[in-house]
Structure 1
C-alpha cells in the first residue's frame, strides 16, 4: 500500500519531471555537439589545385579551411617535382569544412615497376594487369592472327617490351592484338561521358581515342575535367560496323543545352532503330 502511495505522491512526480528534463537537456547537448563535430550546414566548394606546387596547394586549402594528404605520386616530365597532378574529391565538389583532400603529386623521378607478362593473354586480362600495375593503355593495333584480341606483344616507345623489364610507372603501353575473323564492331555511345570515361569505353570497345576537341565553354583545366561528350565520330549506329583499332574523335562541352540536345537526338536515333 505504501508503494502505491509513493508512486502517486508529489515527490515521485517531481523526480520523474526532473529525470525527463535531464534527458531532454542531454539529447539537446548531443545534437548540438554532433552538428558542431560534423560541421552541419557548412559547405565549401573544392578549389582546383591542378598545376600548383604542394606549398601553394597547402596555403590555398588552409584559407578554405580544408586539409590534405598525399595519396600517390606519379612522374610527368612536363611538371616540376611536387606539382599537384590529381585530387580527390575533384575541383567543384561540395564538401564540409575540415574535409581531407587526397592529392597525387609529381615525383622527383619516375618510379620503376617490373613489367608483367601479357603475351598470350586476352585483351581484357592484359588491360587489368596494366591498370593494376600503374600503366596506361596506349594504342591498340591489330595484326593477322586466328585469335581475336589475343595479345601478340606489347610495345613501349615503339619497341617490343618483354616481361620482367623495369619500366616507368604510368608509362603508356601499346598492344598488338590478334585480328581473328572479326568483321567489325559497333562504335560505343559516348554522349554524356567525361573524357576519361569516354577513353575507357573506347579502349574496351577495341578502338582508339582520336582527336579531342573542346568548345568555347572550356576555359580551364577544371572545365576540361567537368566537360562531357556532345558529339562523336564515327557516331553510335547499330547498322554501322568499323574495324577494331579505328579512331573515334570526340567533342566536349560544359554547355548543358548542347548536351541535352545531343542526348535527345541520340534517344530519337535509338527509338528509330528499335521501331
Structure 2
C-alpha cells in the first residue's frame, strides 16, 4: 500500500477524526478545570492600608481573603505612626486573586542610628558636608579659644559631649564647637 492510498483510506480518516474529537474534548475539559481551579473572573480588591497599624491591616486583609507579608523598613517616615504601614504592594484598589500575598512595608520605631565620624582637628568646611552626608543636621556653632581657626574642637548633642563612634539617630542636630584661632 502506498502512502497516498494509506492517507485516503477509510481507517486512517476515521482515526484522524477520532484524534480531533479527543483533542477537542480534552481541551474543553482542561479549560473548564482551569476556570474552576483559578477562580477565573473572581477578584478581590486590595484595601488602603497606609497609615494603619499591623493589627488593623491584618483584619482588613482577612476580610478580603488576602494574605499579609511584612517587610521591614530601615527608613523612618515621621508622617506615619510607629509600626504602621507606610507602603503596600500591590497598591490599594487593585484587583487580585483570593489568597494573594500583599507585601507591607512598616514604619520603624525611629530613625536608624548612625555612627558619628571622627572630626577632631578638621575644619568646619570639611566637617559640615561629612555630617550632612550622613543625615545629621548642623545645630549651634560656638567658638572657644583654640589655636586652630575654624577647626572642630568637639561635638555636642543635646548639651552633652559626643565622641567619634557614638551612635545617634539620623537627622540628629549636632552642635559644633570650633576654635577661634587664639591661644587658650
| TM-score, scaled relative to structure 2 | 0.53
Structure 2 match to 1:12: 12
> What root-mean-square deviation, in Å, do the aligned CA atoms of Structure 1 and Structure 2 show?
4.1
How much does 1:157 deviate? Answer: 5.4
Structure 2 residue aligned with 1:79, among 73, 78, 81? 81
* C-alpha spacing 1:3/1:86, structure 2 compared with 1 (3 Å): closer
- Identify if the C-alpha distance between structure 1 residues 31 and 90 changes in structure 2 by more than 3 Å, giving closer, same or farther: same
Between the aligned partners of 1:173 and 1:36, the Cα distance in structure 2 is: 57
Q: How much does 1:35 deviate?
A: 4.3
Q: Deviations over 1:194-246 (max 9, x none)?
A: xxxxxxxxxxxxxxxxxxxxxxxxxxxxxxxxxxxxxxxxxxxxxxxxxxxxx
> Which residue of structure 2 aligns with residue 69 of structure 1?
69
CA gap 1:113/1:23 in 2 versus in 1, 3 angstroms: farther
Aligned match of 1:95: 96
8 A contact 2:116–2:168 mirrored in 1: no
Q: How does 1:71-150 map to 2 (within 5 A)?
A: 71-74=71-74, 79=81, 81=83, 83-107=84-108, 109-110=109-110, 112=112, 114=114
Residue of structure 2 in register with 1:228 after alignment:
none
Identify if the C-alpha distance between structure 1 residues 21 and 93 changes in structure 2 by more than 3 Å, giving closer, same or farther: same
Give the TM-score of the pair, scaled to structure 1: 0.39
Give the deviation of 1:48 after TM superposition: 1.2
* Residues 1:76 and 1:153: Cα distance change in structure 2 (over 3 Å): closer
In the alignment, structure 1 residue 46 sits paired with structure 2 residue 49: no
Query: Shift in Å at residue 69 of structure 1?
Result: 0.6
- What SS does the corresponding residue of 2:72 show, helix, strand or coil? strand
Q: Which runs of 5+ in 1 are unaligned?
A: 120-144, 175-275
Choose 1 or 2 for highest CA Rg.
2
Residue 10 of structure 1, CA deviation:
2.3
Q: Which residue of 2 aligns with 1:219?
A: none
User: 2:82, 2:110 within 8 Å by CA — same for their partners in 1?
Assistant: no
Q: Which of structures 1 and 2 has the larger relative contact order (alpha carbons within 8 angstroms, sep 6+)? A: 2
Match of 2:136 in 1: 156
Distance 2:9 2:57 in 1: 67
Matched residues, number:
141
Verify the 8 A CA contact 1:112 1:166 in the aligned structure 2: no
Taking a change above 3 Å as real, the CA distance of residues 158 and 64 of structure 1, as seen in their structure-2 partners, is same
Q: Where does structure 2 lack aligned partners over 5 or more consecutive residues?
A: 120-124, 140-154, 158-162, 174-184
